[in-house]
Structure 1
């Protein structure tokens, strides 16, 4: 008996004409479905052969979009309690328990909730959102006034890239006073300070701008001494995010291509410029990886910058050694390098990582929410699929054969 590639006599599949190009098409699909290898004489230029790919791609897009929204909400809202904890640890020079590991923070959080209200870890969330919105507004205003690209994807030359980076630096410098006011609201204790109004961040920010030179409040640093390290930290994190994201995308694409080459359905004639249906999933994974790596790498620098912002503001914060008392912030740093050297000398290198356990909890919660969203959305999308859509490999084979024979 001749093989499946022989289209003579009764071995020819039913419904195929020996003079039609469909034979070559069938040969290609039979190879992909059953693993049978026969030479392909022509490359098929018609519509996609696997009809189930369209709803599958729509399902993948729905899942990826849902995960992106969940990640955005988590990063800007649900992560705020962990941000409050880590900032309170970062600015507290006298903190004895550095809370570098997550489990040391858990009993402190329980005591904070018992002594204060349940909203104690959500303080300053209004001003934080205002500052982020203000940053976007300033970038948009500068972009419209100068014509500089606001998004990295619109940079088509080195000059446009430099203009884009300059736009980011100017925006960070402008919002620095308001970021400083927002930082104070997120770390100050509710039981030792009056709760600020929603728009107090603007009033305090403009006060810092007016005191551009030597401030009138004790050891508070002038705003010009804080602008450079703040803008430097922000732009460094942004550039690191772009670099890490690009490396991650290349690694994930290489991994996906390698898996495709090892699969039974690999076709060497498949056009390489075909759009990858999982490209959004790759971009999402790359963004998450770059965000996590960026937060870990720049944590020590963030500690120093936050200490410079809080100095001289007469802020009283919760004592995270006990969770039942408060402590004032009393520092006298002269600048970025003096803060760095003093921290290393008096607190050690680990002093730069105070509150790192809160960052670990934040990233763990972020990943957990994304994983939960993936499971829930995937199950919902499966339930919403049409009943006649085949979900197993056998049904997919039958649908492919039906498409080929008609």
Structure 2
């Protein structure tokens, strides 16, 4: 079907072309409204975009970038108090109140703050950041030394994907002793133990490495018995995350394309990767996948944390009352023994101790992202230049020429 040419400057009148016949319904409508024909050139590709669309794309790009930064900061810093709460619940095998729902934690947190200072839920933040930075450094060194791809996006074959997974496994195995030391710092009570120095995580981590065989400290498990389940959890969670993210991206793209096809603003160039909507979809899929993985692997994380903390003589805050402390005394022989003992003594719900803290963490995460979106959107609208008036008031100032 014949159509229109370039309407990006539709305020400029088109001259009458006597050599062309009005053989199109849209051209006839244009003639009836404005009194002259339109030059019929190329096949109609869809309604033309105007400057409002460019501004909208820039606005979406700003929002996407702001959400990425806010999500990164929230995941690594602002979520730490909730991580402390959930870990304390997870390792406390004698906890009577499982805190599976969020509201049971609120009075306990209030008592903790009255009895201790405001930093009680920020303990171990330094060592946690150090371990995350150490993980990135180890991955970079191993990648440069072996040539294995560090980013999943650079894997163009099955061999490269396996190399990437191997790199992740090696990095997790190397940092496991330091992760154990960091875990102890995040769960131990401030009023029952001395506050660790910023670099104590390295000292404790190297001590766990030196005690590779049977450790000399009570019922502490040898580090080799903890490395395998820790690496298995990390790799399984990582593969599940990227798989679920890909599936979510496809679903969101299908929904977005379907909405565009039903609207007047559908554009054949929508599927291009340069479209800012692609980045927005990828970000949404990453957040959804992150939430799903935290929920699915929570019971396994509970068991792993109990293995890490065993034999470390750690004293944690009693989250039944919030006013006392209690030592962690366990004697698990391995992963399956910990699982069977937990099920037998605490029930299946024992694997979900502290789940309410995870709910609070995810709720705070989504709230910060939503707040960031609103703020950036409002600021972008305020800074957007005012629309200039059209030179001909008789031509309707619409986003598209025809509705």
The TM-score with structure 2 as length reference comes to 0.88
Q: Distance in 2 between matches of 1:171 and 1:106?
A: 37
Give per-residue Cα distances to partners, 1:110-169, cap 9 Å, x unaligned. 000000010000000000000000000000000000000000000000000000000000
The secondary structure found in structure 1 opposite 2:276 is coil
Q: Runs of at least 4 residues of structure 1 off by over 6 A?
A: 23-26, 44-48
Partner residue, 2:78: 78
Structure-to-structure mapping, 1:262-277, within 5 angstroms: 262-266=262-266, 272-273=271-272, 275-277=274-276
Q: Which whole-Å CA distance do the structure 2 matches of 1:337 and 1:135 have between them? A: 27
More deviation, 270-279/233-242: 270-279
Q: Which residue of 2 aligns with 1:398?
A: 397
Equivalent position of 1:288 in the other structure: 287
Mapping of residues 5-404 of structure 1, within 5 Å:
14-18=13-17, 27=26, 42-43=42-43, 49-266=49-266, 272-273=271-272, 275-388=274-387, 398=397
CA shift in 2, pair 1:352/1:274, >3 Å: closer
| Alignment deviations for residues 29-52 of structure 1 (CA, whole Å, 9 cap, x no partner) | x99xx9xxx9x9734689964222
Cα shift at 1:266: 3.6
Contact kept in structure 2, 1:177 and 1:208, CA below 8 Å: yes
* Structure 2 unmatched ranges of 5 or more: 5-11
Given that residues 25 and 44 in structure 1 are in contact (C-alpha distance below 8 angstroms), is that contact kept between their aligned partners in structure 2? no
Cα 1:108–1:232 shift into 2, 3 Å: same
Give the count of matched residue pairs.
Answer: 380
Unaligned runs of 5+ residues in structure 1 are 6-12
Task: Provide the alpha-carbon RMSD of the alignment.
Answer: 3.0
* Equivalent-residue separation in structure 2 for 1:64 and 1:26 (angstroms): 41
CA-to-partner distance for each residue in 1:219-264, whole Å, 9 max, x for gaps?
A: 0000000000000111111111101100110000000011111113
Change (3 A) 1:25 1:322: farther
Looking at structure 1, the residues matched to 270 and 291 of structure 2 have their Cα atoms a distance apart, in angstroms, of 34
Cα pair 1:140 1:150 within 8 Å, conserved? yes
Q: Is the 8 A contact 1:103 1:357 kept in 2?
A: yes
